[in-house]
Amino acid sequence: MTDPLTIAPRDKAEILAQALPYIRKFHGKTMVIKYGGNAMTDPELQQDFAEDVVLLKLVGINPVVVHGGGPQIETALKRLGKQGHFIQGMRVTDAETMEVVEWVLAGEVQQDIVGLINQAGGKAVGLTGRDGGLIRAQKLKLRDHKDPSIEHDVGQVGDIVAIDPSVVKALQDDAFIPVVSPIGFGDANESYNINADVVASKLATVLQAEKLLLLTNIPGVLDKQGQLLPELTSAQIDALIDDGTISGGMLPKLAGAIDAAKAGVKAVHIVDGRVPHAMLLEILTDQAYGTMIRSE
């Protein structure tokens, strides 16, 4: 990582001047950031992320952070002697597992992120779907990929019914940075574990965000030759799925990204979170550090 003290003053001024048009363009806009992958587990990248979020807030952009926590949940379950079980990529969440999910996401992980952002000079506040009635959910009906007549029971995994963003907007107006755990609540006050990419995509749509950024452990969407595709439309993504170029874990991430883009989020970025300050570079420079999906 380059030490800022070794950069010549003229070069620093040039860097700031290049960022100015982007700061002006995005001033007052909301950006929803899905925080996960290496950026969430590597101490140096954690620090970079916190600094980036604080800087965005200081220049007048409104970041909203939605975080995952799969590896941390898995570690906690193993400590309890409980083996994680998945169906079609979804964690089966019985009542005991849901208790662990809530404790890890809303307790350990969320508070770590809030602490990092505050330490970097920001004012972060942690939220779950219960706070201010933010995320109402219902039990997810998981149809079998091969036989849609079969429905898998994945326990307390949620499907979003509605998002009320008023608590997020109130915090933004008071100069706070919301940090959202992907936990929703049902009509009987039951808790639901929800995919963080889905929460980030839906929240970006409801907040009419300028951008949705999904931090990942890959460079972005790659073609069959392994080359980065810096920009895609939903039609191009459909073609890449049909010919098998896009598959596996990228499918749900892109489904949420396409939904957000179609619903009015101006740009969705799948960003390589392993690159130091990748999020800041993506927003405030013309250098691509991932794949951008534009609304059409």
Q: 60 among the known binding-site residues?
A: no
Residue 60, sorted as left (phi over 0), alpha (psi -120 to 50) or beta, turns out to be: left
What integer pLDDT is reported at residue 261 of this predicted model? Answer: 82
pLDDT single digits (tens) 209-242: 999 999 888 888 887 887 888 888 877 887 888 7
Residue 227, class by beta-carbon neighbours within 10 Å (0-12 exposed, 13-18 middle, 19+ buried)?
exposed
Q: Is the pLDDT of residue 163 over 60?
A: yes
Domains of the chain: 20-294 (3.40.1160.10)
Query: Highest-confidence range of 156-170, 217-231, 247-261, by mean pLDDT?
Result: 156-170
Q: What is the pLDDT of residue 257?
A: 81
What is the rounded average pLDDT of the residues 61-80? 91
Give the rounded percent of residues in the chain with a pLDDT score beyond 90: 45
pLDDT in tens, 100-123: 999 999 999 999 999 999 999 999
Q: Which of 136, 190, 129 is nearest to 162 (CA)?
A: 136
The set of residues, in sequence order, having a beta carbon less than 8 Å from that of 76 and lying 6+ positions away, is 100, 103, 104, 108
Q: Which range, 80-84, 144-148, 200-204, has the best average confidence (pLDDT)?
A: 200-204
Q: Pairing between strand 290-294 and 231-232?
A: parallel
Record the pTM: 0.89
Q: Which residues does residue 157 pair with via DSSP β-bridges, in sequence order?
A: 193
HEC per residue, 184-215: EECCCCCEEECCHHHHHHHHHHHCCCCEEEEE
Is 28 labelled a binding residue?
A: no
Tell me which range, 193-207, 226-240, 272-286, is most confidently predicted by mean pLDDT.
193-207
Q: Which of 154 and 289 is assigned the larger pLDDT?
A: 154
pLDDT at 42: 85
What is the pLDDT confidence band of residue 131, given thresholds at 50, 70 and 90? very high
Q: What is the pLDDT of residue 162?
A: 96
Say which residue, 132 or 6, is predicted with more confidence. 132
Beta-sheet strands, E only, within 58-202: 62-67, 86-87, 90-91, 124-127, 135-139, 142-143, 151-152, 158-163, 177-180, 183-185, 191-193
Q: What is the chain's mean pLDDT, rounded?
A: 87
Please, which pLDDT band fits residue 260 given cuts at 50, 70 and 90?
Answer: confident
Q: State the pLDDT at residue 50.
A: 95
Q: Is 264 flagged in the annotation as binding?
A: no
Question: Can you tell me the mean pLDDT for 9-24?
Answer: 80
Q: Is 126 annotated as a binding residue?
A: no
More confident residue, 44 or 225: 44
